[in-house]
Amino acid sequence: MTRWRLTIEFDGGPFMGWQRQDHGPSVQETVEQALFRMTGELATLHAAGRTDAGVHALAMTAHVDVVKHLTQHRLREGLNALVRPAPVSVTDVSPVADDWHARFSCIGRRYLYRILNRRAPPALYKGKVWHVPVALDAEAMAEGAMHLVGNHDFTTFRSVHCQSASPVKTLDSLTVERTGEEIHIRAAARSFLHHQVRSMVGCLALVGRGRWTPEDVRTALEARDRQALGLNAPPEGLYFVEAIYP
């Protein structure tokens, strides 16, 4: 048996999310089925993070145990041929130690959130950005973001379906930057609560529109109450960028 580490890029648009679901296609199932067709093995893929429906990944990390002997080249090429036409691409594979775990060995996760901030809707990046037609003040958003960095109880920014043992997390960084017509929000932490990035982006968008002051973000955080949340940003702007390992 070999434990393989996989790096996977995917367009979340057609999927119900990363995790296998009864009611629709998932990235996990797509890759697991491709592997089954290659090896005849019903193996389970474990990922660094479970993304929601519509959320994309530039480089999700996962692992899977395979009994059949395969070369790196054969595994990657085989999976990429068999996942077609799903918008999933295995960009890298490498053998890892048997106790290496994509989720539990992970010491850092990075996300990017893309807002298209112009009046006209997206054409080229449809389904790949959150379209906000009202002008946003990126500097005010960056100021609001600073209140969230650090070790906090993020109950306000947590989905009711969140399975994390504790709402206390350390947010290492949260930056807001305008590049042309887009605003890019980047978040890094050891781990995130369910919907945390989208909840934070939603509040920052309220700051950008001038409905909230930057300080209102701190007030919402300190409320430790989901009702204090302004708005959950939609999934299509969110990208899982990278999982970091020791």
Catalogue the active-site residues: 52
Which of 118, 224 has the CB closer to a copy of itself? 118
Q: How far apart are the first and last CA of the chain?
A: 23
The residue within the footprint of a copy of itself, chosen from 42, 97, 120, 165 (CB under 8 A), is 120
In 3-state terms, what secondary structure has residue 216? Answer: helix
Which are the contacts of 190, defined by CB distance < 8 A and separation ≥ 6? 107, 108, 109, 169, 170, 172
Which of 30, 156 has the CB closer to a copy of itself? 30
Which of 91, 173 has the CB closer to a copy of itself? 91
Contact at 8 Å (CB) between 117 and 183? yes
φ, ψ at 66 (rounded to 5°): -125, 130
- 123 binds a copy of itself, rule: CB under 8 A: yes
Work out the angle at residue 57's Cα, subtended by the Cα atoms of residues 170 and 41, and round it to the nearest 5 degrees.
110
- 33 binds a copy of itself, rule: CB under 8 A: no
Taking the complex as a whole, the smallest distance from the CB of residue 87 to a copy of itself amounts, in Å, to: 5
Taking the complex as a whole, the smallest distance from the CB of residue 13 to a copy of itself amounts, in Å, to: 10
Record the tokens describing residue 108, joined without a space: 């850092």
Under rule CB under 8 A, which residues in 35-64 are in contact with a copy of itself? 56, 58
CA distance 138 to 184: 9
| Interface region with a copy of itself, contact rule CB under 8 A, candidates 85-93, 105-113, 141-149, 208-216 | 85-93
- Alpha-carbon distances, residue 26 vs 87, 89, 170 (angstroms): 11, 14, 29
- 132 binds a copy of itself, rule: CB under 8 A: no
Which of 90, 138 has the CB closer to a copy of itself? 90
CA distance 137 to 178: 9
- 122 binds a copy of itself, rule: CB under 8 A: yes
| Interface region with a copy of itself, contact rule CB under 8 A, candidates 32-40, 82-90, 145-153, 186-194 | 82-90
- 182 binds a copy of itself, rule: CB under 8 A: no
Q: What is the residue-wise DSSP string for 11-49?
A: --TTSSBSS--SSS--HHHHHHHHHHHHHS--PPPEES-
The residue within the footprint of a copy of itself, chosen from 25, 87, 95, 108 (CB under 8 A), is 87
Q: Which residues bind a copy of itself (CB under 8 A)?
A: 9-11, 56, 58, 76, 80, 87-92, 118-124, 126, 128
Annotated binding site for substrate: 111
